Structure 1
Amino acid sequence: MPDDPIPHLEYENMVFGRHQALFTGRTTQEGGPLDQSAYVLLSLLRASGPASISELSAVTGLDASTLNRQTAALLRKGYAERIPDPEGGIARKFRNSTVGDEVLDEVRAATREKLAEILEDWSAGELATFTDLLGKMNRAIEKRTGRPWPRP
């Protein structure tokens, strides 16, 4: 490896992103119950609780029009529901529906199974190190962007 690992990291990060569909149990050809945006939003709502469009935007960095389209798709499929703000605010919030939570659980279980298959030859130490470093990188990104991601 060259002295500067950043070009290699950039390339491997691009390749990792390309493989993301494998981890969520779907490919472009197969489809699946959740696309990537639904998977992310349902996961976010589960971790953080009900959220408005502006609250979702603050965490994801996505603009309101994109989030309106994504949440509308969740509502159409019955995966999320709109509720009054539990804290009495004016903005309505989104939360996962029972069906949305069930589908998310199914996709997460399939994702974990696929990851276990892919990583079956890794030692427990390698897996722990990779997981710790990936978490460290995610937290560094969150710190730099000012958008911490809620963790369960």
Structure 2
Amino acid sequence: MSMDMTTGGDTGLLDTLQHEVALFARRAEQTRLGGVGQVRNSMDRAAYLLLNRLDKEGPMGVKALAAGMGIDSSTVTRQVAPLVDTGLVKRTSHPEDGRAVVLQLSPRGQARLEEVRSSRRQLMADLTHDWEPGEREVFCALLTRFNGALSARMSVPGGQGPEDGQPES
């Protein structure tokens, strides 16, 4: 049984944390963390995440893509449509079931994704240029852990948490 940190001595720290996360979310959306140079702000978050998943996991159907991203199939279908229209994603037939459609990163999509990744990588380097390498590693590990906790919380029906949806006491 864990102690409820919101009633203990950590409320000031938790208030600061929630405020900083809110600021981060707003600033990330304002800049779209688009990178630097001509590529800056040139790919929205949904497109980047879809292309990135197809690159890392290979061709897959809409249902599998939606499940892996924690969103519903209709959302993926809407988000993929402009990527297909612009030639970044190809629709192909499933190799074992010709009736099923598989989404695949096109060569153009691969090149565009690499361009955006490079630009965003440069932005991260610029933002953390005066950090020690160990600080970057710690920040990355903690942010990954934080995102994992958010993802786990959202995967529980009602998005309330690991047990019965009620706050821990």
TM-score of the pair, normalised by structure 1: 0.81
Structure 2: stretches of 5+ with no match in the other structure: 1-8, 157-169
Q: Distance in 1 between matches of 2:97 and 2:74?
A: 24
- Which residue, 80, 83, 88 being the options, matches 1:74? 83
What code does the residue aligned with 2:16 have? Answer: H
2:35, 2:41 within 8 Å by CA — same for their partners in 1? no
- CA shift for structure 1 position 46: 0.8
CA displacement 1:39-74 (0-9 Å, x = unmatched): 110001111111211112212222222211111110
Identity %: 34
Quick one: distance in 1 between partners of 2:112 and 2:85? 14
| 1:146 shift after superposition | 4.2
In 2, Cα distance between the equivalents of 1:11 and 1:59? Answer: 29
Question: Residues 90 and 13 from structure 1, CA distance in 2 versus in 1: closer, same or farther, beyond 3 angstroms?
Answer: farther
Matches within 5 A, 1:92-111: 92-111=101-120
CA distance in 2, matches of 1:36, 1:10: 22
Q: Which has the larger radius of gyration?
A: 2
> What pairs with 1:1-152 in structure 2 (closer than 5 Å)?
3-4=10-11, 5-20=13-28, 21=31, 23-25=33-35, 31-32=41-42, 34-88=43-97, 90-146=99-155
SS in 1 for 2:20: helix
